[in-house]
Amino acid sequence: MDSKVERRNVSSSSAGESGDVKNTIATTTAATAAFKGAKSSRWRRFVLKPFVYVQFFFGIGLLALAFQQFRRKNTHPEQSPELIAKDWEILYYRIIPFRAISRAWGWLTNRHLPAWARQPILGLYARTFNCNLDEALDGNLDNYSCLAEFFRRKLKSGVRPIDSVSTVVAPSDGTVLNFGRVTAGMMEQVKGVSYSLGEFLGPAYWRNGPEVQPAGQTELEYEKSLLVNKENDLFHCVIYLAPGDYHCFHSPVDWTVNFRRHFPGALLSVNPSIAKWVAGLFSLNERAVYVGQWKHGFFSMTPVGATNVGSIRVYADEKLRTNCTKWALPLPYYDRYMCPDDSDEIPLKKGEIFGEFNLGSTIVLIFEAPKDFEFKIRPGEKIRMGQSLHTTHSATKSSD
């Protein structure tokens, strides 16, 4: 009898223990589910919903900008100042994380492509942007391991002859956006839209080391301060490289580079349609200003970065680092003096390769020349690296 009671007690106690274990497991499971639910709820409340709202209103804002620009184009003539973006529109446009997008694009284009994917992917790119593979040093798409390598493809010898008579040749393939004489310290990026020479180049202290720019210096005074020969004038030329163009850029003249200024800047699109809309676009974007002298005096060549341009590479300037985070390069610009004593000067011959882009972008030339210098190109004209940019009789006169 006692043993039966004892067995009942044991079985009831074990049943009670198992019930407690089940209750504990159930409680733990419920607590875990509640925690996950609370965590998920916090994620939706503090991250997902704000992100969705931001994207929604951001998209609405972009549509509003596009609609307003469309209305302007229908109500104003083509060169009207009303078509130029207002300050608040530029500010809104710059909110787009173009720098992060460009770094992501740079990472993507450097990913190794398996052999089976090269023909379809690179072939699609070549067809879309009218790349001439017959001119490429290696026309076999299977030999390019990634898209970035295809961007930087070299050309066959002789397909870009350098004009031997001209003193200034095209530094790259591309489309002429604008050119002409610098007027009162202002330059036209496209017809009807100007930008400041001083804002683009920055303080002009590259000859004698850091100096304080004179207070109250006008744009015209800044322009005149660049001239080595006061009898000369300043000229400029802007060339846009489309995604399908040859991406390397070359020296347009015989000159010596002795200074470089890197503006980290933004990475806004430099497409001609954006250049017509955003005044001072090239002064906002990341750029590397190379300054030196040629036979007529001051000369500068500036590769300008743009959206999805993963980097600007200059072969003789390995210290240049572009498309970095704002935390890595927090200052407005960074100077590098290239002294003859340190053998840092870069002597360049006309047509010599200078650097490369990782996608299309822009080259800006600003140089001193005799007053009778004349361009022989047109806005919107497609040009090829090595062709003459000016009438040769002017060069002959100026060199006599």
Q: How far apart are CA 259 and CA 184, in angstroms?
A: 24
288, with CB counted inside 10 A (0-12, 13-18, 19+), is: buried
Query: Could you give the C-alpha distances from 369 to 120, 208, 294, in angstroms and in order?
Result: 48, 22, 10
Residue 145 has pLDDT above 80, yes or no: yes
The answer to whether 152 and 358 have CB atoms below 8 angstroms apart is yes
pLDDT band at 242 (very low <50, low <70, confident <90, very high): confident
Q: How far apart are CA 361 and CA 243, in angstroms?
A: 8
Query: How many C-beta atoms surround the C-beta of residue 186 within 10 A?
Result: 15
pLDDT band at 46 (very low <50, low <70, confident <90, very high): very low
* Residue 400 pLDDT: 43
* Residue 314 pLDDT: 92
pLDDT tens for 187-201 read 988 777 888 999 999
Q: How far apart are CA 195 and CA 206, in angstroms?
A: 21
pLDDT band at 303 (very low <50, low <70, confident <90, very high): very high
pLDDT tens for 83-136 read 576 777 777 777 777 778 888 888 888 889 999 999 999 999 999 988 989 999
Query: Which residue, chain included where needed, has tokens 């026309």?
Result: 139
User: What's the order of all strands across the beta sheet hosting 312-314?
Assistant: 248-250, 353-357, 312-314
Between 39-48, 251-260, 331-340, the lowest mean confidence (pLDDT) is in 39-48
Q: List Cβ neighbours of 277 (8 Å cut-off, separation of 6 or more).
A: 69, 83, 84, 85
Catalytic residues: 173, 250, 361
